[in-house]
A and B are shown apart, each in its own frame.
Chain A
Amino acid sequence: MRVLPPIAILLLGISAASGTSCLAQVQTQSPDPIPDSPAPQLRDDLVPYAAMGSAVADSIQLSSARWSGEQFEAFLTGIRASHNGRGYPLDERAQRMFEEINERQREAQTSPYSPNSQQSRVRDYMAHARAGLRMRQTESGLLFRVMVKGEGPRPRPNDTVVINISAKGPDGVSELPQLAATQLHVRVGSLFPGLAEGLQLMALGAKAKFIMPPELTFGDGKWPDGVDRGTPIWINVELVDILPP
C-alpha cells in the first residue's frame, strides 16, 4: 500500500473543504472575458501551488461564473490581500454574490437534467448503505460506524492527529491505495470535510468506518487519479494519537 505524503491529503482536502459557500463568486455576463489560453508551464516545485489554486476555483465552479478579466484580477487581489493579513471585508455586495452562487449551485444540484443528477444515485446509494450496513448518518450526510470505541480526548479542528487510514471504492472492495496512509500526521481542519467531521466523532484510540458522499470528499474539485469522480468513498480510520497543542 502506497503511503501518500501528508501534503497530498492536505491538498485533496482543501479542494473540497472550500466547498460551496466559502468563497465569493459573481456576475453572469462579461464584455471582457478571461482569455482562454493553455495552462502556463511552471517550475515543477510550484505546480502543487497552482493545483491548489485550480482546486479552489473548481470547487466554486469559477469557470461557469463568466467573470471579466478585471473581476478575476480583483479576485486574485483579494486572495493576495488575505494572504498578507489585509483581506477585504465581506460587504453586502459580496454577501449577495455569495447567495447567488449558492442558489445557482443548489439549482444545478437538484435539477434532474443536470450533470449532477448523479446525486440522486448517490442519495440512493447512501440510503441503502445506511440501512444495509447499519450505519449512522450525520446531518451532513456522512455515514459512520465506530468499530472500536475510543475514550477521552476528541480531536478539534486545529489539532494535529496521527491516523492510519485506508480507503475503498463504492463497491466496498476495491482498494484505493492513493488515499491510504499510516501514521499520518495531519491537522484535522486541513482534511476534506467528511474526514475532518469524521475524526471529530472519534475518541482517542477509536477505529471507525465511514462512507462519504462525494460532496464531503473531493466534491467539484480535482479528484485523484484512479478514484471515480462523484462516487462515494469508504474510509477506515484509526485515531492513533492527538498531539499536544
Chain B
Amino acid sequence: MRAALLAAIAFGLGPNGRAEVVAGLPGSTEVCTPGSESVGPAADYPQPESTRTMAARLQAISRSTSIQSPFFHNDAIADALKAKLQAMVDPDQILGTMFPYAEALLYAGRYEEALAAFSDYEKRMKDSGRPLTSVLEVKVWTGEALCCLRIGEMANCVNGHNSDSCLLPIRAGGVHKDKRGSTQAVVHLTRVLSKYPGDLRARWLLNLAYMTLGGYPDQVPAEWRIDPKVFQSEYEMKRFPDIAGSLGVDIDGLAGGVVMDDFDNDGFLDLLVSGWSPDSQIHLYHNNGDGTFSDRTAQAGLLGETGGLNLIQADYNNDGFVDVLVLRGAWLGADGHIPSSLLRNNGDGTFTDVTEAAGLVSAHPTQTATWFDYNGDGWLDLFIGNESKEKDTNLCELFRNNGDGTFTECAAENGLAIKGFVKGVVSADFENTGRPGLYITRLDLAGNLLLRNDGPAGADRSPNAPWKFTDVSKAAGVTEPFCSFACWFWDYQNDGWPAIMVMPYDIQDVGDIVADRLGLPSSAERPRLYRNNRDGTFTDVTRESGLYKAMMSMGANFGDLDNDGWLDFFSGAGNPNFDTLAGARMFRNDGRGRFQDVTTSGGFGQLQKGHGIAFGDINNGGSQDVFFVVGGAVNADHYRSQLFANPGNSNHWLKLKLEGTVSNRSAIGARTKVRVRTEGGFRDIYRTVGSGGSFGASPLRQEIGLGQALAIESVEIFWPSTGKTQVLGGLELDHAYWVREGDPECVTMNLGTFRLPGASRTGSGLAEEAPTASVP
C-alpha cells in the first residue's frame, strides 16, 4: 500500500546450599489496570546514576528522531503536507501532493480526514481530465477501504477489545458491535473487485470485513468468497483463550519484544515487555502467583528505559539472577543509532542499566543478539547482529565476557565482523562438538550464514585468544531463504541433533499470502526447515514437513503446546502496512516429521501485527501458555498483547531448572536428554537450554512435555564447559527439579500454582473461575 513505508523497510530506512524448596508468594498484590501505561511516580523509586544517564540519553534520542520518520511522525508529516498544499498554486503540484497527504493521514490514524482526502484526490484528478491510472485507482480505492476498516478495528478490536477480537476466522465476540467501519469498507472493496476481480488483497479484506459484520461466508458474493475450508485446522487443538486482559498484561502498544522468565526466583514466570518506538516505556509485569500480575516497572528502576524491538535474557554475571539485554534501533536507519541496554538484575526486584560500565555501548541499529559461551570459560558472551545498508555500515559485534562484569568487543579478530541487514542470530552446538556456532539471517540478498565454532585459532587456547569461526553456510546448504527473518535451532525430531528453522519476510502485499492459501501462484517467500544430517550438512525438508507455505513472519518462537514431547511453533505476521492483515499461524509437530496448522482450532489467528513471542507455563500448571506482543510499526497501529492460556492436556511433563557451576550459571547451551518409559518402549526427548527463537524469549528453565510416559528412566545433562554428562535418576513425572552442575542429586522444586482466570470479558474456552493460589 504505502510506497514510502515499503521503501523504508526494504532498504533499511527499519547456591551452594541447595534450595530445598523454591516457592513463595510475594506480598505485593497490586494489580495494574488492563492496558494501563501507568508505572508510578519516578520520584518514589530512585534510580542508579547509570540508569538515569541512559534514560536521559534515550529521551534525547526520542526527541530528535527524524521528523521524516514514516513510523512515528505521520501526524507531523500530514500537517506539513497540508501546509504545503495550502500554499500551492500549481495544479500539478497540488495533485502530486494530495495522495501522499491522504496516505500520511491514514497512517497518522486520522481516518475520517484520510477518507475525505482520498476522495478529494480522485475527484480532482478526474476534474483535471486525468483519470487515475489503474495503479493509482487501486491505491486510492484500497486506501479508502483501509480507512473504513481501521475505523471499525479501532472502535471494536482496540477500544472494545475482547478475547475474540481480530482472531481469524473472526467469530463470536470478534464480530463488531459498531458495524459502520466494516460496512463502508465492504462498499469500497466491492468497488475494487468489480473492476479488478483478480485483486486478492481486496478479496481477502472483503472476506475479513464480512467476518467482522457476522456475514461470512454466506453474505460474501460467491465469486469473491473464500472457502471456509481455507481456515480449517489440520488438527483439532483445544482453544487457547486470550486471558491477557484478565491478568492485566494486555499492554496496548506497538511492535516489541518479550522476556518471559522468573526474575526474582520465586518460581513464577514474570514478563518484561518492550515497544519499539523510542519513547515507548519498557514494562515489567511481576507474576504474583495468585492469578494477578503487578506492573513493577517503576519499582524495578526501569522508568526511562524506552524503546527496544526485542529483548533477550541471560545471567551474564553468574549471580543467579536473570539479566536482560534491550535491543534498539532496528529498521530506523539513520535514526537507529540508539544504544542497546544491558539491564543487570540486582536480585532485589530492581535492575540497573550497566551498559556503559560493562563496555557494551553499541549504538547500531539492531533487534537481534544471542548469548552464548563461545570459548567455554563459563561466562556468557554476546553476539549482536546489526543492520547494515548502503552508506551505513554496522558490522556485527562479538562481546567477550571478561568475567568481571565487563565485556570486550572482538568480532573482527574472531572473524565475526559480518556485514548485512541482519535480522536474526541464534547459537547452538549444531555438530555436537561441545562448541556453539552461530546461524545468522539477513534480509538483504546476501543469504544466511552458518558459522561453525572451530575453537582457538592458534596455539593459545586461553579464553581471550582469537577464536576460529568457519563459514560453512554453502556446504551445509542453509543459505536460503533470501530475505529471511526470525530463526532458531531446535531438535524438532528428538534425535539429539539441532535442526534450523528460518522464517521468511518478503511479499508484495497480503495478496501473496492469500494466493498461496488459495493454491494460486504466489511470489511470497517460504520458510525453510533444515534437518541436521549429522555430518555438518543439512537437508531442506520444508515441503515434506508441510511448511512450504507463504508467510510474512516477524516474531516467532517454539514450545510444546500439548506436552507430547514434540516441539511446535508460532509465527506472528508483521509489516508496517495496514493492509497486511496476514494473520499469525500456529503449527503443531505431529511427531512424524510433519507440522499441522492449528491456528483456527487453537484460537491463535491474530490478524494484527505480531512480534515478540514466548512460550512458558505462566501458572505452573504443567502446560505452556503463549505470550504474544501484538502491535504494528506505525504509531497508529497499536494493539493489545495477548496471553494464550493453555487449556491443558493429558500428557506428562517435567521442569528442569539447570544451574551451571563450571559452565555458565544460566546453563545456556546445556543439552538434556530425557529418557522415558512408554507402553511402546523407551523414548528419548532432547532439549537445549536457551530462550528459543530470535524474536521473543521463552524462559531458560526447561519445560519438557513427556507425552504418555509411564515413568522417567533417566535424565542426562551435557554441560558445555566441561563436556561432561551428568546422569540423574529417580525423577518423577509432572515434577520440577533444580539441577546443579556436578551435583549427584537434584532438588525438587515445589512450585506454587494457580488457576488461570476466566477467558475474558466475552469468554470462550476456560470456565470463569476466581483466581486461587496454592503451594503444594
Contacts and interface: CB of A to CB of B under 8 A. Distances in A.
Interface of B: 1, 6, 133-135, 138-139, 142, 192, 195-202, 445, 447, 474, 479, 481-482, 508-509, 511-512, 515, 520-523, 525
Interface in A142-169: 144, 146, 149-156, 159
Nearest to A205: B135
Interface stretch (A44-52, A83-91, A195-203): A195-203
Interface stretch (A7-15, A93-101, A227-235, A237-245): A237-245
Interface in A110-166: 131, 134, 136, 138, 144, 146, 149-156, 159
Contacts, number: 83
Nearest to B447: A134
B380 to A, nearest CB: 34
Given A152-B192, A197-B521, A131 B479 contact: yes
A144 B522 CA distance: 11
A204 interface: yes
Given A204-B134, A204-B135, A241-B134, A152 B195 contact: no
A199 B337 CA distance: 40
27 contacts: A131-B479, A136-B523, A138-B521, A144-B523, A149-B6, A150-B135, A151-B139, A151-B142, A151-B201, A152-B139, A152-B142, A152-B196, A152-B199, A152-B509, A153-B196, A154-B198, A154-B200, A156-B198, A201-B521, A203-B509, A203-B511, A203-B512, A203-B523, A206-B508, A242-B196, A242-B198, A244-B196
A122 to B, nearest CB: 21
Contacts of A241: 133-134
A152 to B, nearest CB: 4
Contacts of A156: 197-198
Contact of B445 (A134, A159, A202): A134
B674 to A, nearest CB: 39
Contacts of A131: 474, 479
A98 B474 CA distance: 41
Given A136-B525, A200-B521, A204-B134, A149 B509 contact: yes
Contact of A150 (B192, B197, B508, B515): B508
Given A136-B525, A146-B508, A151-B1, A204 B138 contact: yes
Given A146-B523, A153-B138, 7 more contacts: A151-B508, A152-B142, A152-B196, A152-B511, A201-B521, A203-B512, A205-B135
Interface centre among A153, A200, A204, A244 (most CB of B within 10 A): A153
A242 B509 contact: no
Nearest to A133: B445
B523 A202 contact: yes
Given A202-B523, A245-B197, A152 B138 contact: yes
Contacts of B6: 149
Interface in A10-65: none
Contact of A151 (B198, B474, B511): B511
Nearest to B507: A149
A156 B199 CA distance: 10
A208 B512 CA distance: 15
Contacts of B511: 151-152, 154, 203
Contacts of B445: 134
Interface in A168-222: 197, 200-206, 208
A238 to B, nearest CB: 11
B481, B511, B515, B521 — most chain A CB neighbours (10 Å): B521
Contacts of B525: 136
Contacts of B138: 151-153, 204
A114 to B, nearest CB: 28
B509 A151 contact: yes
Contacts of B134: 153, 204, 241-242
A53 B370 CA distance: 63
Nearest to A151: B509
Contacts of B515: 154
A170 to B, nearest CB: 21
A245 B195 CA distance: 8
A162 B240 CA distance: 48
Nearest to A243: B134
A136 B504 CA distance: 12
Most chain A CB inside 10 Å of its own CB: which residue of B142, B201, B508 = B508
Q: Which 7 A-B pairs have the closest CB atoms?
A: A153-B196, A152-B138, A200-B521, A134-B445, A153-B199, A201-B523, A149-B508
Contacts of B481: 136
A202 B135 CA distance: 13
A134 B134 CA distance: 31
A244 B195 CA distance: 6
Contacts of B521: 138, 154, 197, 200-201
B550 to A, nearest CB: 11
B8 to A, nearest CB: 13
B408 to A, nearest CB: 35
B220 to A, nearest CB: 18
Interface string A72-110: 000000000000000000000000000000000000000
Contacts of A201: 521-523
Contacts of A244: 195-196
B140 to A, nearest CB: 11
Contacts of B142: 151-152
Most central of A154, A156, A159, A245 by chain B CB within 10 Å? A154
Nearest to A244: B195
A197 B515 CA distance: 13
A154 B135 contact: no
Contacts of B1: 151
Contacts of A154: 198-200, 511, 515, 520-521
A238 B536 CA distance: 42
A187 B590 CA distance: 44
Contact of B198 (A138, A144, A159, A197): A159
A13 B199 CA distance: 25
A245 B202 CA distance: 17
Given A146-B523, A241-B134, A203 B508 contact: yes
A7 B447 CA distance: 41
Contacts of A205: 135
A70 to B, nearest CB: 42
Contacts of B139: 151-152
B646 to A, nearest CB: 37
Contacts of A245: 197
A87 to B, nearest CB: 27
B132 to A, nearest CB: 12
B208 to A, nearest CB: 16
A149 B142 CA distance: 16
Contact of B201 (A138, A152, A159, A206): A152
Contacts of B200: 153-154
B440 to A, nearest CB: 16
A203 B198 CA distance: 9
Contacts of B192: 152
A136 B199 CA distance: 23
B198 A153 contact: yes
B94 to A, nearest CB: 23
> Which of A156, A159, A204 gathers most chain B CB within 10 Å?
A204
From B135, B198, B200, B512, name the one whose CB has the most chain A CB atoms within 10 angstroms: B198
Contacts of A159: 198
A200 B508 contact: no
Given A136-B525, A138-B521, A155 B509 contact: no
Contacts of B474: 131
A201 B195 CA distance: 20
Contacts of B197: 156, 245
A201 B520 CA distance: 9
A208 B506 CA distance: 14
Contacts of B201: 151-152, 203
B549 to A, nearest CB: 14
A136 B524 CA distance: 9
A136 B528 CA distance: 13
Considering residues B139, B196, B522, which has the most beta carbons from chain A within 10 angstroms of its beta carbon?
A: B196
